[in-house]
Structure 1
Amino acid sequence: MSNNWSVSLLVSVVLALTDLTQSFQPLFVSDGNSTSHRDITQMAILRKTAEVCRDIAVAEGKDFILTVDNSLTVDQVQEACSFTDNSISLLSSVLFHISIANMYFSNANVDLASMLSDEHHFDGETFQKGRDLITKGVSAVKASVKLENFITGRWTLGRVCHTLQDFYSHSNWVELGNTSPYNALIKPDQIIENVAGPNISTCRNCTGESCDNNILPDILQQGLLTSGYFNLISSEKPDGKCSHGGSFDQTSKRDPVGGINKDQNGSSHGSLHHEAADLAVNATVELLEDIRLAIGDKNFLRLMGLSQSSVLCFVIDTTGSMSDDIAEAKRVSFNIIDRKRGTQQEPSAYILVPFNDPGFGPLLITTNADKFKESINELTASGGGDVPELCLSGLQLALTAAPPSSEIFVFTDAPAKDADLKSTITALIESTKSEVTFMLTDVLTSRRKRALNQADAQLYRDLARASGGQAIEVSKSDLVQATSVIEDSLQSAVVTVFQIMMNPGKPDNFTFTIDRSLRNITIYITGTPSLSFNLTSSAGVSQTSSESSGPLASLSLAGNLRRLTLNNDNETGLWEISVDSNDPYSLKVAGQSSLNFIYNLLEAHEGVHADFFLKEGRPLSGGNATLLVTVAGCDSVKIPEVTLYDSSGATEITGALQSLGGSNFLVTFNEIPAGEFVVRLKGEESSSSSRSTPSSFQRQGSTQIKTSSISVTAQANSTNIEPGSTVSIPFTVSTTTSGVVNKTATGTFIVRATNDRSFDSTSPGSVTIETDSDGKANGTVTLTAPDSAVSGTDVTLTIEAEDAATAGTNYIVLRFSVASEVTDVNRPVCQEVSTSTNCSTSSLCDSSQWIFVANLTDGINGTGIERVTIRKGSGTLNTTTVVGPGGENITVASYRSSCCADRVELTVVDNVGNVGICVGQVRQSTTVAPVTAAHVTPNNTTSTGGDSLSTTLWVWTTVVALTLWK
């Protein structure tokens, strides 16, 4: 415990002094000329995603006209990858933007969570340890994808990319004249060679201001690999070794002085910055290709977040009185599936969480619509006697399983037995920016013992309000009309134009802008039966709430929900709606448009590499705030205004905008509204036609943001947990004044630590800030993965602190991945058995065929071959499995093709994701070649190794394979 806290204290001191990142800048660069980790990661993701889409298009005989290079934008790739379906006319790149942001924020976080770790940055010649971090991380990504845990896979991938990218900035790989990435960093069965030994001097003093020639000529001539040492406090380093460099690196002040890093143009070896950055991009592309081959094209695109559709996510009460609700959930989900199956509008995944009392779950998350249908069809309503159910426990599972910015639908007619989870659920809502809509049946009925009363329903209303969702209260007979909102939410490219929630209610007028990109505009109003409204178009035409079909919209009623579907011929411009009610109500204007935005709260860290990082938890009361705003759907857009809008309507604060190029903007607010607020954006979209005037538009974030005077910080040493092991997470709680830690404060805080997998966990029930403690209280949470936990399982830990005196709260959300130790690091072995051909030089190539047969094995100690697919080639592949003389399983691959294609490359993947390529080539005459053994390798290269098979076996397997074609 003392060691943990000494490290934590040191990190805290470091963060208080400076950002001190010692790598490519995490997110932004100040000189406008350098390349950041964010740039490198996004360029690589877009390149590889475009390449995958291009390969799919070619295989399907479709055109792909996008040029694949480092200048691609998110919207360009999204559009180019949407070639498979003409059923969708509106494209949205929001999910793709969010997924890429998750990866580069995770990448940047390595500079905070592991800033003093040499191996995370390849400092101090820690090449083997750094490589181990990369290969273990890649294995964890592949395991996560296998269980369809794509969110955790993205966060792990971002961290891996940071370490890989730092190699090219911190080592002398570029100075050695290399122009290609170092493949051994992503291949655990390759040896890292030519590392300068611990007693070999590698650098000499820099000359004046120049460090260009400080690496010793002998090191360069012998091709020896080295990297710079870095230390914030001590100047100690091995004699003669290079330093990282920079004013905060104390080792660079000791002979040999200077450094070799290429983090920015102004770094010690800054003249090589762009070469290092380009290599980092190419290396990241190679790593992504390895993952792509292991998980397949479809899962790779899902990992990248390339999707046109949301998930269909239901949390359903299965107690006795819910038979009607379950039947309606089945009806609406089956209808969605049957209409959208096979199109780009089909839900990207299906999530189902049943709950009752005393249980909840299991969680189902799948891309298989039939599996979802089967699971929801098996739900039955039974039991229930004591009324309250574990609704929030089920919702917690859904919030952590669903991708960020999802919409989750909860069906219940009972109060929550686990209402103590309210603050945890609120924290997860704010962290994921997901909307939660509650379908509450028979809230007002008092005839049944089980019915929800108004106090019980208020919990659900509060959570809906926090998320920007709705609490729809209907009778069971009217539920079928209310579920239209589910189908609305699963349309393509849904955006929120305007939303407000009034509690307490009061009569008020609200304006919103309809722009020319919007289609299928719908207005939702929830409130008591006495509520009335008047809608006025930009042309001055009005319609009242008494008109079910008027000049502006069609109106339908279901319980407390009024749904107005605007006519398609309505004009653009400024509209107004007047609502007359003294009771609480909500108003939401939504539609379909490619034009939308995402935002993330950032936190500044000052110093030599001043930069921003993702802000965890709530912003601090009385302080300032910074947002990274990205506009999706338009690569060239003007944003005149981003505001923080108090949900009560009392305050609206406008931020100062700084363009970061393209559709990215840094928005700074000198103050934050004291209550709950949302982010609103107003912009102008330029038309492709020079004659058209720019179109004004507005969009709004759904999630309610709250401020807090409490700060909660935590950093885990590792985000991977082996089954049966425990991870400790130190955390710190402090109070703040005007956004700054109050060092003289004292007080006691209630601590709640919960996880969504019900893993064993310990935490203090409270922590206390004592006098003379610098205003901070410390504690530790432990999390233990059971022995039975499957590798790839994700677990989300939420740590909350509540001020015992004021009831103010703040939180931090951490994701972990169960990762079993991988001992199989060798790629499968490919042994060519035969290549027979009747191919000739005749131009009638399609009249002849050739056959390639190979034996594929993962060895006796391997995990076994999971999948063999055609990487390049247009023929037909057939496989069968036999047992070799040593007891190993042998996969016999038989490939047949016309002579028009004279080469095949097979992708061979074992059960832990080791990947390679087996190559077959047409020969000029029929032969049965002697058995040769070759490792399955990428990039069309081979190396010797592997177990030879007996002549009898390979002849027999050839006969078996050829028989498959009959």
Structure 2
Amino acid sequence: MTAANMAIAATSELLEDIRGAAGDKTFLQLMGINKGSSKALFFVIDTTGGMSDDIDAVRAVTSSIIDSKVGTKDEPSLYILVPFNDPDFGPLLKTTDPNVFKNAIDSLRADGGGDSPEMSLSGLQLALAGAPPESEIFLFTDAPAKDTHLKSTVIALIERTKSVVNFMITAALRSRRRRQVGDSEQQQSRMGVSDATLYRDLAQVSGGLAIEVTKAELPAATSIITQSSTSSLVTLLQANRNPGKADHFTFSVDESVRNITVYTTGTSTTFTLTNPSGVSQESTNNRGPLITASQSVGNFQTLQLKAETGLWEIQFVSTNPYILKVVGVSAIDFLFDFLEVSQGPLGGLEIIDNRPRAGVNGSLLVTVTGSDTATVTEVLLVESSGLRQVIGSVEAKGGGNYLARFDRIPAEEFVVLVKGQNNNDSSRATSVNFQRQSTTSIRASTVSVRSPDTAGVLEPGTPLSVSFSVATSGAGGTFSIQATNDQNFDSSFPSSLIVETGSTANGAVDITAPSNTPSGTDVTLTIEAEAPGGTDANYVVLRFTVLTPVTDFAPPVCQKVSLQSNCSDSCSSSMWELSVQVTDEDGGSGVDRVSLRQGNGTLNTSLAAGNITMVSYDASCCSPDVELVVVDEVGNVATCFYSFQRAVSLSSRAVPSFLLFFCITILGLNLPF
């Protein structure tokens, strides 16, 4: 018991120091406690010439969301921005402050770009590498991608993070300025069919939309962003048909769902809606009984439906390619992870971080969120073609967790469909059926890519060798290898490996962070292996943190200079003052900041000679205590307590800098340690 209490006390002390170094808001994020919704507002924006109108539309929708949702349950928990141009992209801005994000959007300027294709996939790769799980990303561009070689890497990151990517494309006819020495030439061009197809393919894989409109139509199309920033947005149905064909879809609406919206993208797409009562309405009829509002702009159509619980039907008659998405607002949703037998000494099952094995049996862990009364009755793997589905056997594991086992993982691309029942009213005799679907399409593989270096540290200027292995249960031969990272650090790796059926081949990626890379920089390394003929592929995604070796483990030191008071019996009319000298010992990294943990007086700091920080504090005599938190440049923390009523006591504790960096890396926030 004594040892346990000591461990608890030590852990509490360490967490308090991390809280002091990181700040309350960041610390709460680390603990999984968010003030607003779990959604981030996430934009990837082309800033080349001709994008002024698009940037203006982003400014408008950003202002609308921030002004209407800050302080509500729908306030985004995180704001992320990635600009891209040519040849540059980034940096990634990640902030919890809506005003910082708003100012960053306001500072964007459309300029340059050179030739028409831009670094859109490099910007998207950087965004996905920094994306929280289950993010929804909006990419704005009017140009094709210059870096199409990153398509497979982007797909891998989409699958890994289960992120939704929506493309807002204003490229039906655009004007680009080609800059040449001595003159300028106005160039008119159209985005080619293959260029638009790339964006459509990525949208489809992620469960997003590829919205193609003119620049004048873009403000009207951004309504999807406002809807997507709402907390508790769930997917009831997601499907695509390319090539297009007539097809029949169903989705179930339970009593928890409101604001049901149908999105479609495609040309000349028409369909018939039928509600649970059997009443039908054509999608082109704006005055029928089922549709309360509709909007059509470019290739994008959105319909608001009159809510009715039960099974709905959608009958498509279009033969043109289309994407169909039905969403609603509900607290009930689900998370999922594929599992495999662990190779560790304890056995059991472990989460798969890349594609599951195709054609064999497999397991899926499903977790219901948002309800204590919802239960899962069915889990299905539905092939994206809609032709076949695999039904799993479901076993409740407690705490909202369910283990679904399948006798076959489809070799074709598929989605996860969860069905269940919810009864939040104990007086009700029957439960209400619900249905939720994953947005991201999943691809299984006969290829396996593994690395023991799942995370690690890069020292600036020093190469790091990252080992990996490739195995296959399918056809053997020469496998193509590609390794990319989101920071464009120099790397070398074998272009191919010979892998025989049932065997393993080993390789390594040598990656080097430039010597001037800021400490704390995150880098995501994606290693991909593609089977002969490009028929199959898999990947492994690894995260590293760049850290400059730290030799400073001593906390700053507080030394009282003076403490004066004129306190009387009437504390509200008298004040006391404190002056403290704060130093980091010889060879220390220097004081980064001083803040108040206790006390409601006025704190001021100034830099004196010899890298000494002078702290002055004054407060009402009604507030006799003050506790200072002092953090140095590498994250060592000192806490200093003073009171004019009793003797001064000082407390200083060093927090291992590597641990602070580890915590900040989890958060993905850039703090100035």
**TM-score, length basis structure 1:** 0.63
- Structure 1: distance between partners of 2:96 and 2:490: 30
Secondary structure at 1:178's aligned position in 2?
helix
The amino acid of 2:233's aligned partner reads: V
Aligned ranges 1:21-100 → 2 under 5 Å: none
Distance 1:319 1:888 in 2: 44
**8 Å contact 2:256–2:330 — kept in the other structure?**
yes
Q: Which amino acid aligns with 1:552?
A: L
Structure 1, residues 812-863: CA drift from partner, whole Å, max 9, x if none? 10011111222221122233445545667x7x76565544544332223322
| Correspondence for 1:781 | 509
Deviates more, 1:363-372 or 1:795-804: 363-372
Greater mean alpha carbon deviation, residues 353-362 or residues 791-800: 353-362
Deviates more, 1:286-295 or 1:616-625: 286-295
> How do 1:605-644 and structure 2 match up within 5 A?
605=342, 609-644=346-381
SS across alignment from 2:4: coil
Structure 2 residue runs of 5 or longer lacking an equivalent are 177-186, 656-673
Note if 1:398 corresponds to 2:127.
yes
C-alpha displacement of 1:334: 2.7
Q: After the TM superposition, which of the residue ranges 799-808 and 361-370 deviates more from structure 2?
A: 361-370
Structure 1 residue 895, shift from structure 2 partner: 4.3
- Measure the CA separation in 2 of the matches of 1:911 and 1:606: 41
1:426 CA displacement? 0.6
From the superposition, tell whether residues 312 and 450 of structure 1 become closer, same or farther in structure 2 (CA, over 3 Å). Answer: farther
Residue aligning to 2:390: 653
Aligned equivalents of 2:310 and 2:500: distance in 1? 58
Matched, 1:908 2:630: yes
Q: Tell me the distance in 2 between the aligned counterparts of 1:897 and 1:906.
A: 17
More helix as a share of residues: 1
**Residue 157 of structure 1 aligns with which residue?**
none
Which residue matches 1:858? 584
Q: Deviations over 1:129-175 (max 9, x none)?
A: xxxxxxxxxxxxxxxxxxxxxxxxxxxxxxxxxxxxxxxxxxxxx7x
Alignment of 1:504-903 (within 5 A): 504-529=243-268, 531-553=269-291, 554-567=293-306, 570-605=307-342, 609-691=346-428, 693-716=430-453, 719-737=456-474, 746-769=476-499, 775-837=503-565, 846=572, 849-873=575-599, 875-881=600-606, 883=608, 887-899=610-622, 901-903=623-625
Q: Which residue of 2 aligns with 1:356?
A: 85
Q: Which sections of structure 1, spanning at least 5 residues, go unmatched?
A: 1-173, 183-278, 738-744, 940-966
Which entry has the higher C-alpha Rg, 1 or 2?
Answer: 1
Identity across aligned pairs (percent)? 50
How far apart are 1:646 and its partner, in Å?
1.0
Q: Write the deviation string for residues 714-759 of structure 1: whole angstroms up to 9, x where unpaired.
A: 122861112112211111111115xxxxxxx641111000000000
2:29 matched residue in structure 1: 302
Deviation at 1:468, TM superposition (A): 0.3
- Contact 1:827/1:935 (<8 A) preserved: no
Distance in structure 1 (CA, Å) of the matches to 2:222 and 2:353 = 34
Write out per-residue CA displacement over residues 459-493 of structure 1, whole angstroms, 9 at most, x where no aligned residue. 11110011000111122222222111111111122
> Do the aligned partners of residues 921 and 658 (structure 1) sit closer, same or farther apart at CA in structure 2, a change above 3 Å counting?
farther
2: distance between equivalents of 1:776 and 1:361?
37
Q: So what's the TM-score if we normalise by structure 2? A: 0.89
Please state whether the residue corresponding to 1:511 is helix, strand or coil. Answer: strand
* One-letter identity of the residue aligned with 1:292: R
* In 1, Cα distance between equivalents of 2:210 and 2:514: 37
Asked if the contact 1:687–1:693 (Cα under 8 Å) also holds between the matched residues in 2, the reply is: no
Q: State whether residues 716 and 728 of structure 1, in contact with CA within 8 Å, keep that contact through their aligned partners in structure 2.
A: no
d(CA) in 1 for partners of 2:431 and 2:577?
A: 61
Partner deviation per Cα, 1:302-335 (whole Å, 9 max, x = no partner): 3344331522222222333333323322222232
> Is 2:103 aligned against 1:380?
no
- 3-state DSSP class of the match of 2:59? helix
CA spacing shift, 1:635–1:294, aligned 2, 3 Å: farther
1:287-314 residue CA offsets vs partner (Å, 9 max, x unmatched): 4332212111111123344331522222
Q: Which residue of 1 aligns with 2:18?
A: 291
Aligned CA distance change for structure 1 residues 865 and 766 (closer, same or farther; 3 Å): same
User: Which of the two has greater strand per residue?
Assistant: 2
Instruction: Out of 429-438 and 590-599, give the one that drifted further.
Output: 590-599
State the SS of the aligned residue for 2:398.
Answer: coil
Secondary structure, counterpart of 1:358 in structure 2: coil
CA contact (8 A) 1:836 1:923 kept: no
Give, as a single letter, the amino acid of the residue that structure 2 aligns with 1:914.
Answer: N
Question: What does residue 671 of structure 2 align with?
Answer: none
In structure 2, how many angstroms separate the alpha carbons of the residues matched to 1:473 and 1:630?
35
Q: 1:416 aligns with which of 127, 139, 145?
A: 145
Give the alignment of 1:488-503 within 5 angstroms: 488-503=227-242
User: Cα distance, 1:383 vs. partner?
Assistant: 4.2
Change (3 A) 1:691 1:828: same
Cα distance in 2 for residues equivalent to 1:674 and 1:888: 64
CA contact 1:859–1:888 (8 Å) conserved in 2:
no
Shift in alpha-carbon separation, 1:751–1:638, aligned structure 2, 3 A: same
Equivalent residue letter for 1:813: V
1:684-712 alpha-carbon deviations (Å, 9 max, x no partner): 22315434743321111111100111111
Shift of 1:358: 2.8
User: Is residue 555–residue 654 contact of structure 2 (8 Å, CA) maintained in 1?
Assistant: no
RMSD between aligned alpha carbons? 2.7
CA contact (8 A) 1:749 1:802 kept: yes
The AA in structure 2 aligned to 1:563 is: T
Q: 1:369: which partner in 2?
A: 98
Offset, 1:515: 1.4
Change (3 A) 1:341 1:607: closer
Q: Say which SS state the counterpart of residue 150 (structure 2) adopts.
A: helix
Amino acid at match of 1:587: L
Which residue of the partner structure matches residue 45 of structure 2?
316
Cα distance change, pair 642–898 in 1 and its aligned pair in 2 (3 A): farther
Matched with 1:246 is: none
In 1, distance between residues paired with 2:411 and 2:112?
45
Alpha-carbon distance change, 702 to 831 in structure 1, aligned in 2, over 3 angstroms: same
